[in-house]
Amino acid sequence: MSDPVAILGGTGKEGRGLAARWSRAGRRVVIGSRDPERAAAAAAEIAALSGGEVVGAGNADACAAADVVVLATPFDGLDGLATEHATALAGKLVVSAVIPLQVVDGRFGTVEIPQGSAAELAAARLPQSRVATAFHNISYKLLIDLQHPLDEDVPVAADEEADRALVVELCRDLGARGVPVGPLSLARYLEGYTAVLLTINRLHKTQAGIRFTGLG
pLDDT digits (tens, 9 = 90+) for 160-197: 999 999 999 999 999 999 999 999 999 999 999 999 99
Residue 138 contacts residue 150 (beta carbons within 8 Å) = yes
Q: What are phi and psi of 191, to 5 degrees?
A: -65, -45
In CATH, 5-100+114-191 is 3.40.50.720: yes
Count Cα neighbours of 131 within 13 Å in the Cβ-side half-sphere.
Answer: 24
Q: Report pLDDT digits (tens) over 82-109.
A: 999 999 999 999 999 999 999 999 999 9
pLDDT of residue 2: 79
Where do the structural domains in the chain lie, given as residue ranges? 5-100+114-191
> CB under 8 Å to 60, separation ≥6 — which residues?
85, 88
pTM check: above 0.95: yes
